Structure 1
Amino acid sequence: MLPKTLSEIIASHPNKCLGVLGLSYHHLPNRLKPCFLSMGDFPEDFQVDTWRLIQLWIAEGFIRTSSGRHESLEEVAKHYLEDLISRNLIMARKKRFNGEVKVCGIHDLLREFCLIEAEMTKFMHVVRTPFSLAQKPNFRRFSIQKYISHKLLPPVARSIHCFSSLDLPFESRIHGFFSSFNHLRVLAIFSALFVSFPLVIRKLFHLRYLQVQCSGNIPESISELQNLQTLISDAYSLDMTLPRNIWMMKNLRCFKFIWEEISSTFIMLPHLEELKLKHCLADDDVWKLSDKDIFKSLKLLLLSDVNLKCWEARSDNFPNLKRLVLKKCKDLKKIPTNFGEIYSLELIELHDCTTTAKASVRKIKQEQDDLDNNILKVYIHNSYTN
């Protein structure tokens, strides 16, 4: 009878399959090995956003900056990713118009190798069957792809990716699940929508990366997570508001569907490098930044489906901005005209925006071309005629 799965193929020809894949893996520099193995976190054929993968690598402590080099952790992580892609260990599934990798993945055979190697080296355990954990295993990282009881996971777990239903309809079960893992650094829940933000999460003091879906507001107590670097709140409420004391989270560097009090709050986060605001409705359709509203470290700003009509800002408000992305901002009349004076700005992307907004971007580009500034690139895409 012929083998039916990749696991069975590898099991029936271990020397041939693992030997070839093992050569590529074992020739990797040590700094790249955990990054490659982490691709096993994701289910088969999962489309991994590059920005998400990079923030995960940083939160896990896989990325190290070299002494004497003035590169951010994100820039170093991009180099790691490019290296793994050049070795054909990670696949670039989608690219932006300028060649940057937007979405990546891994070949099924390489993923199977990842799972085997991760299991053998105690790097990570992937729960692929409901009964794959007969007893609490000696692992620190878990990817839950089939439902199991949280009682089967060790309390020393440092990383949990959950792609399977948690089956947590009652507050007591939610509290029991999250309060079991006091050492967590990474908690990414893809499969559950909570009616309200699970308050017990605020007790996970060591968290660096948090992804959670909820239909209620993020509580003020989120500021207790002083080590948090990345917060992804996939909100499902149009009137969701931002915690007033989020500015106390000094290590927060990447935030993704909140709008209220954006200027007065986010400018107080000294390490914030990425800000993505999607499907947000502001009480006022004007975003006016004063001279004191400075996003000191922000490198990426993405606005998608926001109800802005007027945006008043200066280049000094975003001194280190590298990339500005606007998607479906169907009311915004124009981009601030002096954004071309942001010396670090490399790219402006417009997707399905107004004719006047497109014209303002073209004007900015022309002015920079006239000044022999060839660094700034502009990309305009429309899927409809407006």
Structure 2
Amino acid sequence: MAVAAYASLVSLSDVLDNVQHPSRRHRLHLDKEQIGGLQQKVQFLQDFLELHSQRISPEMEDLGRQLAVVADEADDIIDFHVVNQLCERSQDKTHHMAALSSFRQDIEKIIKRIDSITEKLMMVKEERVDIQEQQPIVSGNMGSTTPSSSDKNTMVGFDERLLQVVDELTRDESDLRILPIVGMGGIGKTTLAQNVFDHPYIINRFDMRIWFTISQQYSVREILLKYLINGKKIKASAADELDLAKLGECFHKLLFGERYLIVLDDLWSIKAWEDFKMSFPNNSNGSRILVTTRLLDVARPLGFDNHYFTVNFLDKDKSWDLLSEKAFAQKSCPYPELEKIGRNIARCCRGLPLAIVVIGGLLAKSKDKQEYWEFVAKNVTSFVNSGDDDYCLKILSLSYNSLPIHLKPCFLYMRVFPEDDRIEASKLIKLWISEGFLKPVGGKSVKEAAKEYLKDLADRNLILIRKWTDTGKIKTCGVHDILRELCFRESEREHLIRIPKAQKIPFTVLNDGDVCFLCSHKQDRQNRIHLQEVLIGLQSTTVASPSVCEACNNMYQNLNKFRWVKVFKSVHDESDVTSPLHTKLRYLKVKGYNRIEKNQKHIVPGTISLLWNLQILDLGHSKTVSLSEVWEMPKLRRLSINSSLPDLLEGQDSTILENLSTLSSSRGFSCSEEIVKRIPNLKKLYVVWPVSLDKLALFNKLESFSLKYNFCRLEDIDFPTSLKKLSLSRCLFPWEKMTIIGSSLPNLEVLKLNNAFKGREWNPVEGEFLRLKVLSIKNHDLEQWGAEDIHFPNLHGLYLEEMFELKEIPLSIGDIYTLHSIHFQICGEFAMNSALEIVKDQKEKGNESLQVYVNGKQVDEERVFSDSDLSFVDSDEEQS
């Protein structure tokens, strides 16, 4: 329960911060000193769990369980008092004093319970320190001179990678070099290393070959001692007389002058390498060290020039070959009736050799072949995780167990996504923020922290990167099905996800009792679960009764602890219905109306400010009125509305939304000094039909700006020099004005144009767009593009779509050193013939890295375009 306790404490810390910084209009009656003291205690416990999470005893687990409960109850109590005070209209001092007294008493009870748990934690910690000091360190893995000969080490599908590693290890460079092999658990790193270790060329090349398995818990002394004793270099009777320094010296002498290969298998930290390296002499004779690790942060610094080898998932054919090898002891299937089923089973293993080996072992033991195989095919993940005493999960759980505790809630949250899902990184980050999992450190925002968390999980090979942007950021990601099962098991054990903090509501189904109020999915009337209604706010309207599906009810532990606030009203000619939302929401997205309801208006009454923890409010295309209460929501980080920013109400003169970093305003946005003063930290701005943009440069932290439909002249838009991304759509500026953008935005990295300029010719100017990495041009009547490589010296990706009039792509575009891809989508024949010429030209110049795509299909110099190439083909290629 340590993970749940930590997640609850981080979330509570955010709530405590919120309660100390309410809107300036709604003052809360609370004891700030008391709240500050509670926050310090919560912070202490967070730090304690971060420090001791790898050494949690059963006693500490039980205390962690109690701590999670207390933190959640504290959240409930604070929410109860804050919402009640926000609803209260009375100005009576006696009433205020009573509210303050009640709040103070409830917080004091929480503090006493937290103090009691903290005291017990300290006692348990001291007892464990005493025990550990009395016990000698014993390594569960002492190391060995040769790799395991287990039959689980059959190598299929890595022949090319094997030759690459052997070639790298046997190069002529004389200095001692380290070659890391990195990949997720169970992907075949050790198997590859074993086959390298036993390769005939390696055996002939090196005088000595030594294999050490390190793992998470290791003892350098025991590993070296075991090798030296087994090799009869020292006597076992003398072992007690040799300390680590003497053992290291003995091992160093043994290797001195020899050309050696040492494999350090399953390395988990740079510290482990530091502990060993003094024992390995640099003989300047081509000695090598081969390292296997799951962690990119270990592989990068160890590899020469940050060079390392990755082990990727098997493709479907190689997966089937490996499954056949394990099930039939041969690469071909002797039973034709099983091949189709078997290939489906192999596909469901998602290319992970460990899963294929486990399932293959089960299939090898089966008697009723076809019937059993069909049964397995329907439950592949379950069989993988139950086979060989949970062998597969035990291997993969090592990666989870080694995580620092602040990453564990974020990883376990991956269970909420479907199998093999492609998850948008931006969506995942929003959901992590909404759950309160993120702890901003060092002045960074929670969004910046989330990006670092995501990168860290990817570097640890727990989250898969499905797609990168051209600017080197994670676009989409996912999690392997086997790891997703691990997320399920651990989150169930931890009781991690207790209440939903994010909600998506389609206006079209607000009154539909057959729709789950949390996930918006249709539910069987017999299986739907009505929630206990604890409603506050407006009393004069009909309330849609909230109900949830069975899946959501099973996922969230405390649904009936919600307090519902009546917020959105769908206004019809014949009815007036209010939609309830729960007060702890941090992320609310309201999906748009359908065509039948396009003339409806949806009222957002003042009670929306009762969602006092709300950080993301996305109203999309829904027509809303009466939205002035957003100025009373100081924690808002992202706001998306189908209107201009609302006017300030009486008493809101000093309102500043300091946390608002993203604003999407569909119509009527006016960039005035007053607006800039209200939202000074804006980083992303999306506007449609703006009124004025002459003060845009006052947003001196703005990094991304998107403009659609515009009456302004380009020269009347004062762009801030901080912009890194600019998107223009249907603005119809003349091409000769493009120099305004190129000369005024020195930091621009992404430029996306959709029918943004008009004219037949664009001649870029040298010295502009020096940092541009992505250029996307769509739906223009451009015929002549006088671009050369000097105009975009740092370009990574070029995207051209619906460019029917373009005569050619300048051949020198392919000479841009940094360019790695050009994408054509529904373009004219002339433009796509240019693609072929660029490919030919670059291959003649020895550039094999440039990739050219036409309608999502990669082309090469031999390719001849067919009619189908000139028609529309869906492509998942997207720009940054």
TM-score, reference length from structure 1:
0.65
Deviations 1:30-81 (A, max 9, x none): 47978998xx9xxxxxx98668989999x9563379xxxxxxx9xx798469
DSSP-derived class of the 1:277 partner: strand
Of Structure 1 and Structure 2, the greater helix share is in 2
After superposition, residues 1-386 of structure 1 pair within 5 angstroms as 30=406, 62-63=447-448, 79=455, 87=463, 113=497, 116=500, 125-127=586-588, 136-139=610-613, 141-145=615-619, 149-151=627-629, 154-162=632-640, 174-176=646-648, 180-189=655-664, 193-195=666-668, 197=670, 199=672, 201-203=675-677, 204-212=679-687, 214-216=688-690, 218-233=692-707, 235-237=708-710, 241-244=713-716, 246-247=718-719, 249-256=720-727, 257=729, 258=731, 259-260=733-734, 261-282=737-758, 284-292=759-767, 294-381=768-855, 382=869, 384=871
Q: Could you tell me which residue of structure 1 aligns to residue 299 of structure 2?
A: none
- Structure 1 stretch displaced more, 323-332 or 362-371: 362-371
Matched AA of 1:162: S
Q: Tell me if structure 2 keeps the 8 A contact 1:288–1:313.
A: yes
Q: C-alpha displacement at 1:269, in angstroms?
A: 1.2
Return the alpha-carbon distance in structure 2 between the equivalents of residues 273 and 52 of structure 1.
Answer: 22
- Asked whether the 8 Å contact 2:671–2:694 carries over to 1, the reply is no
What is the rounded CA distance, in whole Å, between the counterparts of 1:276 and 1:304 in structure 2?
8
Query: Would the alpha carbon gap of residues 274 and 324 (structure 1) be closer, same or farther in structure 2, given more than 3 Å must change?
Result: same
Return the offset for 1:267: 3.4
Render the CA deviation track for 1:187-229: whole Å, top value 9, x for unaligned. Answer: 333xx631454645444221111123x2246521111111101
Q: Which structure has the larger Rg?
A: 2
Paired position in structure 1 for 2:152:
none
Q: Is the 8 A contact 2:500 2:585 kept in 1?
A: no
Alignment RMSD, CA only?
Answer: 5.0
What is the rounded CA distance, in whole Å, between the counterparts of 1:252 and 1:351 in structure 2? 27
Kindly state the Cα deviation for residue 155 of structure 1 after the two structures are TM-superposed.
Answer: 4.6
How big is the shift at 1:158? 4.2
Post-superposition Cα deviations, 1:123-142, rounded to whole Å, max 9, x if no partner, equal 96134796895764553613
Partner-residue secondary structure (3-state), 1:367:
helix
| Cα shift at 1:162 | 2.9
* More strand as a share of residues: 1
Contact 1:195 1:215 in 2 (8 A): yes
Residues 310 and 86 (structure 1), Cα distance of their counterparts in 2 relative to 1, 3 Å cut: farther
Q: Note closer, same or farther for the CA distance 1:134–1:276 as it changes in structure 2 (3 Å cut).
A: closer
Q: Any gaps of 5 or more consecutive residues in structure 1?
A: 1-14, 16-22, 41-46, 66-72
Over 3 Å counting, the alpha-carbon distance change for 1:187 and 1:328 in structure 2 is same
Amino acid at match of 2:635: A
Query: Which residue type is aligned with residue 298 of structure 1?
Result: L
- Segments of 5+ residues of structure 2 without an aligned counterpart are 1-64, 66-396, 417-421, 434-443, 504-557, 559-582, 591-603, 856-868, 873-880
| 1:338 shift after superposition | 0.5
Task: Find the aligned partners of 1:55 and 1:118 in 2 and give their Cα distance.
Answer: 9
Report the 3-state secondary structure (helix = DSSP H, G, I; strand = E; otherwise coil) of the residue aligned with 1:340: helix
User: Post-superposition shift, 1:95?
Assistant: 9.6
Distance 1:338 1:113, change over 3 A: farther
Distance in structure 1 (CA, Å) of the matches to 2:821 and 2:429: 20
Q: Do the aligned partners of residues 62 and 134 (structure 1) sit closer, same or farther apart at CA in structure 2, a change above 3 Å counting?
A: closer
Kindly provide the amino acid, as one letter, of the partner of residue 269 in structure 1. Answer: L
Compared CA separation, residues 265 and 197, structure 1 to 2 (3 A): same
SS of the equivalent of 1:301 reads strand
TM-score normalised to the size of structure 2? 0.31
Q: Percent identity of the aligned residues?
A: 18
What SS does the aligned partner of 1:210 have?
strand
